[in-house]
Every structure is written in structure tokens, then in C-alpha cells.
């Protein structure tokens, strides 16, 4: 039986980095590889008791070394062909620890903080599931394959999802087992299962590193934060 008081972290680092032109997971960012920033945040979060890091199957030994300084992340498992398969593999690896809740995070979002993880987990305990998110403020248009704009999409009530995304462990495991195909994130699988997560608005930088300029921006923001901390 799962303990409702415990929470596990699941960090996903199995992507291909195809749009970066180089491996973003091990790219240097303020003195440590990108993936380590997420491991560090989850390690420092008092809510997290256990963690699993999911990486490409041929990089397990490499990521075991990267995770060595983070005692909560001594379980490194192979990812799947899609993100949903990678998360499902991670959940199955966490099952023996029987956590009450799990927070899933993309390692490509290195600006996550222990405070955000705690906030998302607290909301999940109240609402069954929760995700970091931002309201969409840009005007949205739907177009065809050639980029011809056809119609305006109402942005009221539209959220851009981030991670962490957290839920009761058993709830999320069942949702992904039933709706793995077509689920681009945990919220997708949960909604398909009739569970409606709550969006927790996050006004702090938490973007996903997708292009080389994203890495430069993350570097600048982390340097700024370090400078402020040294002055206080």
C-alpha cells in the first residue's frame, strides 16, 4: 500500500536534442551539466524521498556518474521511444518504493526550484493532480501545413503547460498505462482518464531548453540569481 505522505521525483532526460545540434542534457550551464540542475532541485526538496532518472538506454553508465552526488537519484532507468514510454518506465522503477505521489519533470527545464516542486505537490495532494503552467497571453491563430493562417483560436482559458506535473502515484501509473499512446505529457493522460489536474500559475522562469539561445538565456538568469544571492 502506498504511503500518502511520501513523494517521489521522476526526472526525464531521454530526449534526442535534435533541435539543439548538440547534447543539451550534458551541456555546461553555470558550472554543471544541464541535467544536474533538476537533480539538484529535487535533491534539495524536502518533500521528495526517492528519485528516478530516466535517460537514453545507451547512456545509463554516463548518467549514473552524473547522478552520483545526488543520493535520492541512485536509480537510473532506460527511456522509451516516446516521452510517455520513458515516464512509464520511470514509474515502474519507483513502484517498489510505494510513494503516495510523484512529481515528473523534464530535465530540459533546469530553472526548476525546490519551492516550485513543493508547491505543485501540495496542490496535487488537494486536487489529485497539478501542473506548473502559464496562461497563454499571445494571440493564437491556426494555420495549414504551408503556414497560411486560417482562423483565430480563442486564448481564454488556454494554458501553456510546464513541469513539474504531479499526481497520486497510482492514479498517474494507471492513466499512463491506459492512455500512453498520444499522451504528450502527464496531464494529457490524466485528462483522458477523467482526472482533471489544476494548473498552478508559475511566474518564475521555467522554460524548456530547445534551441541554443535558450541555453544562453538560462546561463544569464542563473548568473543573475547567483549575483543577487551573494549580495543578500
The residue whose grid cell reads 491556426 is: 142
Q: Per the structure, how many domains does the chain have?
A: 1
**Residue 47 backbone phi and psi in degrees, to 5:** -70, -25
Tell me what pLDDT residue 5 has.
77
Residue 64's domain spans which residues? 3-231
Q: Mean pLDDT score of the chain, rounded to an integer?
A: 93
Tell me what pLDDT residue 230 has.
45
Confidence of residue 2 (pLDDT cuts 50, 70, 90): low
Tell me what pLDDT residue 60 has.
96
Tell me the three cell numbers of residue 228. Answer: 543577487
Please state the rounded mean pLDDT for residues 146-161. 96
Instruction: Say yes or no to pLDDT of 131 above 70.
Output: yes
List of residues 6+ apart from 188 with CB closer than 8 A: 179, 182
Tell me the pLDDT tens digit for each residue of 83-94. 999 999 999 999
Tell me what pLDDT residue 204 has.
93
Confidence of residue 9 (pLDDT cuts 50, 70, 90): very high
Please state the rounded mean pLDDT for residues 164-169. 98
Of residues 193 and 4, which shows the higher confidence score?
Answer: 193
Identify any residues that bridge with 160 across adjacent strands, giving them in sequence order. 134
Instruction: Say yes or no to pLDDT of 134 above 60.
Output: yes
The residue whose grid cell reads 513502484 is: 95
Q: How far apart are CA 229 and CA 232, in angstroms?
A: 5
Buried b (16+ CB within 10 A) or exposed e, 128-160: bbbbbbeeeeeeeeeeeeeeeeeeeeeeeeebe
Report yes or no: 200 and 160 within 8 Å, Cβ to Cβ. no
Question: Residue 54 belongs to a domain with what CATH number?
Answer: 3.90.550.10
Tell me what pLDDT residue 85 has.
96
Confidence of residue 215 (pLDDT cuts 50, 70, 90): very high
Please state the rounded mean pLDDT for residues 134-154. 96
Please state the rounded mean pLDDT for residues 200-216. 94
Tell me the three cell numbers of residue 232. Answer: 543578500
Tell me what pLDDT residue 15 has.
74
The residue whose grid cell reads 501509473 is: 173
Report yes or no: 135 and 158 within 8 Å, Cβ to Cβ. yes
**Residue 142 backbone phi and psi in degrees, to 5:** -95, 135
**Residue 130 backbone phi and psi in degrees, to 5:** -155, 155
Please state the rounded mean pLDDT for residues 220-226. 84
Instruction: Say yes or no to pLDDT of 198 above 60.
Output: yes
Secondary structure string (H, E, C) spanning 68-106:
CCCCCCCEEEECCCCHHHHHHHHHHHHHHHCEEEEEEEE
Residue 188: count other Cβ atoms within 10 Å of its Cβ. 17
Amino acid at each position: 500500500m502506498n504511503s500518502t505522505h511520501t513523494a517521489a521525483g521522476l526526472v526525464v532526460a531521454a530526449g534526442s536534442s535534435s533541435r539543439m545540434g548538440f547534447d543539451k542534457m550534458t551541456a555546461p550551464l553555470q558550472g554543471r551539466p544541464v541535467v544536474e540542475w533538476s537533480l539538484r532541485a529535487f535533491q534539495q526538496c524536502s518533500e521528495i524521498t526517492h528519485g528516478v532518472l530516466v535517460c537514453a538506454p545507451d547512456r545509463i553508465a554516463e548518467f549514473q556518474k552524473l547522478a552520483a552526488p545526488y543520493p535520492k537519484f541512485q536509480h537510473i532507468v532506460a527511456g522509451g521511444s516516446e516521452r510517455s514510454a520513458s515516464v512509464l518506465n520511470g514509474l515502474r522503477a519507483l513502484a517498489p518504493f510505494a510513494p503516495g505521489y510523484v512529481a515528473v519533470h523534464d530535465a530540459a527545464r533546469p530553472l526548476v526550484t525546490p519551492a516550485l516542486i513543493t508547491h505543485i505537490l501540495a496542490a496535487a495532494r488537494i486536487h489529485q493532480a497539478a501542473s506548473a503552467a502559464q496562461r497563454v497571453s499571445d494571440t493564437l491563430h491556426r494555420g495549414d501545413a504551408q503556414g497560411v493562417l486560417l482562423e483565430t483560436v480563442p486564448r481564454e482559458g488556454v494554458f501553456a503547460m510546464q513541469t513539474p506535473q504531479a499526481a497520486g502515484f497510482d492514479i498517474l501509473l494507471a492513466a499512463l498505462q491506459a492512455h500512453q499512446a498520444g499522451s504528450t505529457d502527464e496531464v494529457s493522460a490524466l485528462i483522458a482518464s477523467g482526472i482533471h489536474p489544476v494548473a498552478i500559475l508559475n511566474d518564475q522562469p521555467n522554460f524548456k531548453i530547445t534551441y541554443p539561445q535558450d541555453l544562453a538565456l538560462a546561463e544569464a538568469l542563473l548568473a543573475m540569481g547567483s549575483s543577487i544571492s551573494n549580495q543578500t
